[in-house]
Structure 1
Amino acid sequence: PQNYATSALLAGLRRAARAARACGGVEAGTWLVARAGLLEGRSATTHWEDMEDFSAAFPGVDVRPDRYVIDGPVFTSGGASPTFDLMLHLVRTRLGMAAALDVASVFIYDQTRAATDAQPLVSLGRLDGYDPRLAQAIRLMEAHVDEPLTIDAVAKRAGVTARTLESIFRKSIGETPGAYYLRLRLAAARRLVVDTRIAMADIAGRTGFSSAAAFSRAFSRAFGEAPVRLRRG
């Protein structure tokens, strides 16, 4: 990265940092951020192979062996996988747990699963701070999309009362377990509508709706258009 640390680039980084809400570097990119003076007096991290050299090059930086570090408006990450952790942390703190779960799901990011396990509908990833009972409840929900459990049954299997489960969901995600469960099923249904040619009645059955009509009504309320219309484009 030293070869790219031109005066023009470093000046551009400093201008961007002044205008941006946050700035940072990933792995070797932390060298450029440090060269621009943006890490002086701050804590930071970089790839473990470079940590000793980085510390020697920038004595004014508190170098830590963490996966990622956020110090004020500046973030640094030690590599590709920690950057996913960082991304999910930023999404969760700024937009909430529900948004972070949705983003993690898009990337199928879940370090608690083996490569041979089925890809989950919702990937919890390394979302620090989530209640393990929340994770268990969501896993139960995604395992029973086609034949939805009652919320009482989900709570019982998660080892809590229905009232406690509702409190956990409201605190962590900002909605009730029932609302989240419905949103999960509709998200699965939407993928089937968009990505397959499966009949609507079959999609309704696969996502726990009693009929194609009930499915269409719920889908329209959630997404603003009927599933048939969405498929037609």
Structure 2
Amino acid sequence: SRSMTSDGRRTGTVGYNVQTVVDTKHHLIVEHEVTNVGNDRGQLSKIAVSAKEAMGKPGLKVLADRGYYSGPEIRSCDLAGITAYVPKPLTSASRKKGLFTKRDFVYVAKDDVYRCPAGERAIHRFNTVENEMNLRVYWPSACPRCPLKARCSPSDYRRIRRWEHEHVLEAMQRRLDRSPEAMTVRRSTVEHVFGTLKYWMGSTHFLTRTLGRVSTEMSLQVLAYNLKRVMNILGVARTMKAMRMAGS
């Protein structure tokens, strides 16, 4: 194992990051992967696509926590026929300062402008690239004389950045707004599985070393979990029958 830096706490944890996809109906582990990357931001689309293929479904709904929020990852899911539900992290610098956030600015697609909280139009000024993402930058001309400026930005103008595929994120946010129970379902699904596995594995969790061996150890744990879960659902006799039919 190696020290993995967590973006949230800026601290290092010596260990591994286990990714799992769990179905909401039977709580079976559909897909899993062991990584030594400390954050989850780049993990969503890869394991979601693997789960979709493993289940043989033309489409899939995937619920994930805020740590998985990444525009490119969510768009990759969308292109693969996977409907993602990932809430946006509450890390806005403006929010922490008590200022208006980007969500307070309404995008008017037909005019390609944003309407600010004061009712002014923020128009497109130029394009830029940040973190390999193509962005359009907007701001209103009325900022210097705006009566709400103290609640908006200490800069001369409040700039709003819009990703070229922002509509994918906006569509996902609308889905989340219509599904307030989504994150409760997520917690009651995957966290239960992780709790069970950690209980079985004990305080030291993994007993082997190196990524390959730890991945094998995790696969055995997942196999044991799924077998026990299936036996709880079907009973031992029906499970044995299903296994014999699958092997024939």
More helix per residue: 1 or 2?
1
Q: Identify which of structures 1 and 2 has the higher relative contact order when contacts are C-alpha pairs closer than 8 Å and 6+ apart.
A: 2
TM-score > 0.5 by shorter chain: no
Which TM class, normalised by the smaller chain length?
A: under 0.3
> What is the TM-score with the length of structure 1 in the denominator?
0.21
